[in-house]
Amino acid sequence: MCGIFGCLCEGAPSILLQGLKRLEYRGYDSVGIALINGKDLVVEKNKGKIDEFISGLDEARLKGEIGVGHTRWATHGAPSKENAHPHLDCSKRIAVVHNGVLENFLQIKEELVRRGHTFSSRTDSEVIPHLIEEYMNEGLTLKDALIKSMERVKGSAAIAVISTVEPNKIFCYRRESPLIVGIGDNGVFCASDIPAIMPYTRRVMVVPEDRLVILERGSIHVEDLKGVTYETEFTEITWDLELAEKGGYPHFMIKEIFEQPRAIRDTLKIPTVFLDKAARLMRGRIYLIGSGTSYHACLSTSYTASALIDMEMRPVISSEFADALLSLEDSTVIAVSQSGETADTLNAVKHAKSKGARIVGITNTLGSSITTLSDAYICTQSGPEIGVAATKTFLTQLVALDLLLLRLGLISGKLSEPEHDLITKELSNLPGMVEQILSRSNRVKDLALKYSTKENAFFLGRGANVATALEGALKLKEISYIHAEGYPAGESKHGPISLVEPNFLCVFIAPRDRTRDRIIGNIMEMKARGAEVFSVITEGDKELKEISDEYFEVPISSEILYPILCTVPLQLLAYYAATFRGFDPDKPRNLAKSVTVL
């Protein structure tokens, strides 16, 4: 997620830079600021870290009492000076910083280019200042041009705008992406998150959805796009800075688990043009490669591909890929990596390229090594993930891969347009379903307290649920240090069942899908040996409730969604078990966020 900061106060240049420093924890690849100094708009931006950026600034240029700044996490356009924010219009009178993903920017950009606008970046965000300029050229005020622009663009957007046309105001707007404003003795402020403004005020307001906010000296004005005004309702923040960086949550991991509905919404907005480019490369033998959690996304997707579009895709663990003696001529390799820098996956990609394979990259980090090596890539829209244990990046990998399969199915004729549209509509309901699960997190917390004294556990499933079982076991073992193994439920009688004794924990992933009836026998096998059974089931499944000692229900959905829905309670189980055992889930021992060694 990008970070936005704006201020109207004395000492604005230094306060802007300090505010951006306090947003570093969100992750970023470039930084920039814009200030109004008299009649001039002064812009400085570059790729790299804030300290490096500050060291290269000409302080004599940095004057003024109003400005906006931005830390960028690349989603459209690689990390570079040109793609860094703020972005300007052609006349260089308007500066915009933006956090979000615009769905229809390509169409708008093409239209603006035809009208004579010149673009300097490859970002989606740059259409905003040009669109505002276009409407101002038609005679609208800055405010009305901004309103019309926000009505025109689709997607998530938290923006802050300054202009030499109205040099004493900051215009802000919020849709889906986070934005707060605050007022203090020394000025008014806007930011993506509370830590940025805490040193200057603790009186803050979360900008309501689809609202325009105008900051002026000593005042904050709020209205909707129809011009209806609203009272500003401020909250007094009592958190310390460390807690504020985590949004009031005790750990980044639980914060990121609760960010998953937003991350899924943004990933569902991946432009079709990127999906089409990747899908048209997918022919011949298709391999899915990844490590750890990313491999689980590959395994899950291989089942989905067979069921949804009747295509075989072979999942291979990245570190085993070069030794698997695979035929790679006229093949496609889909490389999945959160960071885009996983050494085992990069090594496998280089091996595949050397044998003539086409590469499709799936990553959360634009400009990473995997995007550079790929013939086509898809960037998931999780935003930075700080907790070492992957949560929101796993779910968005699954969503991105589902979207890719849908496009491939449509292009190949495996799916009709009505079938494609129906499943796409079902995917659009996914964020709300995940929110339903998170609203019952206390139920999982109670179960985690009960199970936190266990020393061993099996996670069992069939079909695509095997991947979910592997992921659930990985989460539990890596942060709570409870020994957990994921296994195909049907294979458990071929060895693992010998470990089961009274009170041995068996977690079954058993939604109402094509595997549901067969897994009942596996549950009964474990219960006959005294196992304690916790099942993740579909809402209203009375039979599985009766044969399970404990259960958690996920919403009724199509089969394609269950790997995502059933993962969420397992993430919560692992998190709460770790905290009850006294461990820091953000910093599991012996692990790193990005494994960059072979």
Residues labelled as active-site residues: 2, 593
> DSSP 3-state helix, strand, coil percentages of the chain (rounded to 5)?
40, 25, 35
Query: b/e for 425-446, b at 16 or more Cβ within 10 A?
Result: eebeebbebbebbbeebebbbe
Collapsing DSSP states into helix, strand and coil, what is residue 260? helix
- Interhelix angle 293-309/465-480, rounded to 10 degrees, is 170
The Cα–Cα gap between 593 and 386 comes to: 8
Asked if 480 and 520 count as a contact pair (C-beta separation under 8 A), the reply is no
| Structure tokens given for 341 | 């820098």
Asked if 180 and 204 count as a contact pair (C-beta separation under 8 A), the reply is yes
Residues 6+ apart with CB under 8 A from 281: 332, 358, 360, 375, 376
Which burial class, exposed, middle or buried, applies to 181 when counting CB atoms under 10 A from its CB (0-12, 13-18, 19+)?
Answer: buried
Nearest of 545, 519, 525 to residue 534 by alpha carbon: 545
Query: b/e for 186-207, b at 16 or more Cβ within 10 A?
Result: ebbbbbbbbbbbbebbbbbbeb
* Cross-strand bridge partners of residue 288: 315, 334
Asked if 564 and 398 count as a contact pair (C-beta separation under 8 A), the reply is yes
The Cα–Cα gap between 38 and 456 comes to: 67
Cα–Cα distance list, 117 to 109, 132, 157 (Å)? 9, 12, 22
Locate tokens 């997707």: which residue? 301
Which burial class, exposed, middle or buried, applies to 540 when counting CB atoms under 10 A from its CB (0-12, 13-18, 19+)?
Answer: exposed
Asked if 129 and 94 count as a contact pair (C-beta separation under 8 A), the reply is yes
